[in-house]
Amino acid sequence: MAETTTSETDAMRRAVALAASPGVPLHPNPRVGCVLLAPDGTVVGEGYHHGAGTPHAEVEALAVAGERARGATAVVTLEPCNHTGRTGPCAQALIAAGVRRVVVAQRDPNPLAQGGADTLRAAGVEVETGLLADEAERVNPAWTFAHRHGRPFVTWKFATTLDGRSAAADGTSRWVSSPAARRDTHRLRGLADTMLVGTNTVAVDDPQLTVRGDDDLPVGVQPLRVVMGERDLPAERRVFDDAAPTLHLRTRDPDTALRTLYAEHDRHHVFLEGGPTLAASFLRAGLVDEVVTYVAPMLLGAGRSAVGDLGIATIADALRLELAGTTVVGDGPDANVRLVLRPALRPTERGTN
C-alpha cells in the first residue's frame, strides 16, 4: 500500500477543520469533512456535512470536483458510510465517481453505518485508515463515545458553596450560582442532546429544562428533556410544556435509562442536572463521565449536600476525580469558579499495581 503523502496529511488537517465548521449541529449525526486530491496533490473538491438530511461531506466534495474526481484521492475524517439513511451510502458514491484511493482518519463506530472501508476495498479502491485519527475523534467526542459504549456520554453539572452545599438548611437554593454561571450553564446545555433530572426535582423545583439564550448565545435545537423515576407527575409542570420534547422514563436504574436513550432515542450526550439522590445513583453505578461544578464564594455551614450517599465509609474508598480545567466565570461578587473534572482511573486501570 502506498505511503501517506505530506499533501494527504495537510488535506486531512483541512478536512478536520471543515468538519468543525461553526454552526454545524453537534447531533444527531457526526460532523465530517472531506478533501479530494488530484494525482498531483492539488485540491479538486472539498465539503463537509451540514447536518441531518443534508448531503454528506464526500457527496458535497464530489459535486464540487465533478469529473476531476476520477482517479482522485478522497481524504475524509470518518469512514465513508455503508448504509442508506436519508441519503445514500458514501462508499458507493466514491466508487461510482471513480475515486482511486481513500484516506480515512476515524473508523466508524456506528454499527449501522460501518463497513465502508471494506466495501471500497472490495471494489478495488485503495484504502488507508488512521491518519490523524485522534484529531478527528475530538470533533465528535460524545457521538464517538456513545457508539463505542452503547450509551450516551454523561456530564453531571451542579452548583455548590465552598462547603459543598447545594441548598440552605431551609431548602432554599436560588441562587447558589451567579448569573454569569447560569448563563454559562445554558451554553453547556446547548452542547448536549439530552437534559435529565429525577421526578423529585420536577415535583419540588419545577424546572423548565430548556436552553435560554440571548444575542450572544444563539439557541439551536432544544435538547430532549428526560424525567427519570417511577412516580406520576402533574401535567402542569413546566417540563411538560411545548418549549421542547419531553420523555418520562419510568425507571430508577441509571444503566437502563442510558441504554434506552441510546438504543431507542439515538441520544449521545446526557446533561445530568438532577438532585443529590439522582447524582449519587449515577456515581455509584460508574456512569458519570464528566463533572462540571460551579463553586460559589459563600458558606452555609448546614443544608443539603451537593451529592447523596455514595456508600463510602472511609477516606481510602473516596471517589477521586482528576481536574481537567478551571475557569473563573464572571467577576466581582458574581464570580464563580467552574471546575471540569473526570473520574480518576484506579491504579489497576492504569496498568500499575
The answer to whether 72 is a known ligand-binding residue is no
Q: Are the CB atoms for 99 and 73 separated by under 8 Å?
A: yes
Residue 309 DSSP label:
-
The answer to whether 205 is a known ligand-binding residue is yes
Q: Look-up: residue for cell 473563573?
A: 328
The answer to whether 90 is a known ligand-binding residue is yes
Q: Which residues are catalytic?
A: 58
The answer to whether 11 is a known ligand-binding residue is no
List own/partner pairs for 280-286 with CB under 8 A and 24 or more apart: 280/307, 280/308, 280/309, 280/310, 281/252, 281/254, 281/308, 282/154, 282/156, 282/254, 283/156, 283/307, 283/310, 283/319, 284/310, 284/311, 285/254, 285/255, 286/343
The answer to whether 280 is a known ligand-binding residue is yes
The answer to whether 277 is a known ligand-binding residue is yes
Q: Are the CB atoms for 33 and 57 separated by under 8 Å?
A: yes
Q: Look-up: residue for cell 481510602?
A: 316
Q: Which of 294, 289, 256, 284 is nearest to 272 (CA)?
A: 289
The answer to whether 308 is a known ligand-binding residue is no
Local structure of 99: helix, strand or coil: coil
The answer to whether 159 is a known ligand-binding residue is yes
The answer to whether 57 is a known ligand-binding residue is no
The answer to whether 136 is a known ligand-binding residue is no
The answer to whether 278 is a known ligand-binding residue is yes
Which residue numbers belong to the known binding site? 56, 81, 90, 159, 173, 175, 189, 201, 205, 209, 212, 273, 275-281
Show binding-site residues for NADP(+). Answer: 159, 175, 201, 205, 275-281
- Annotated binding residues for substrate, written as ranges, equal 173, 189, 209, 212, 273
Mark the binding-site residues for Zn(2+), compressed into ranges: 56, 81, 90
